Structure 1
Amino acid sequence: MLGLLGRPMSDPRVDAWAQRCGLRPGQLGNIMCNDYGFELDMDSSMTVTSIVLYANEGGGGFSQYAGSLPGGLAFTDTYPVVVGKLGQPLELVGGSGATEVSARYSAPPYELSVTFTTWYKSAEYLARATVHMIAIGLTQ
């Protein structure tokens, strides 16, 4: 899956996923693979910039991603467990009550953003928040 990062839509591997996930030829935009629990984010040149892996979204339309997660993570991991596995994040963003909390990590050549099931950064909320999604991109 990580081999798709930085590849254009014209790459046979990207094109195969686009077809498998229902993107019609000539259609632009991200490749939403709801049944497989992930999406391929594309930039304006239709190159894969990130891969987003989802926990079971229920009403969000995504099945849970069934492959292995980076860093030995599991969707059931809470924020303290993630910190135990990956260390302290470079940055903890969101959490003002308006957006979910995400922890940003750098593991060259990749960047990870682990988003949790809480909108608040307090220790109380983070202690029980589990992994909601993981975005993986190439370092800039």
Structure 2
Amino acid sequence: MRFGSARLSAVTHAAALGLGAMLAWVALPLWREGVMRVNQRSYGLLVEQCDGAMRDHYQAKMRASDEPSRETGLALEAGEVGLIVCQDYDIYQKRLMQADDGEDPAGIARQVDPIDRGSVPFVEAALQDKQPDERLA
């Protein structure tokens, strides 16, 4: 009778393993979707801020190289300090990748639903201050 019990135990363990694998296979896309939905707005905001900081730094760098002066040097330093937000963006992106061991959820979040610029007042205000050709740079 012990042999029958061992065989039954092996069957139940195998069934539990198979059921667990199927559940994990179904749950993974749901987990990724949840991670994207929860982090999408704040991640999108950091992407916008970092892009703006890099653009401002690049423009200040070009101005400083074209017209070296104290003012352009200070503007360049201010642009470099503004790049700190890119470190926040990088840390946030790494946290998102740690939450999901598969595909880059941050990349998917950028594709699924881009940030609504109207909901970020300072981004819209900054874009209105710039000339139309600077908005594309």
Normalising by the residue count of structure 1, what TM-score does the alignment of the two structures yield? 0.20
Specify which structure has the higher proportion of strand: 1
Normalising by the residue count of structure 2, what TM-score does the alignment of the two structures yield? 0.20
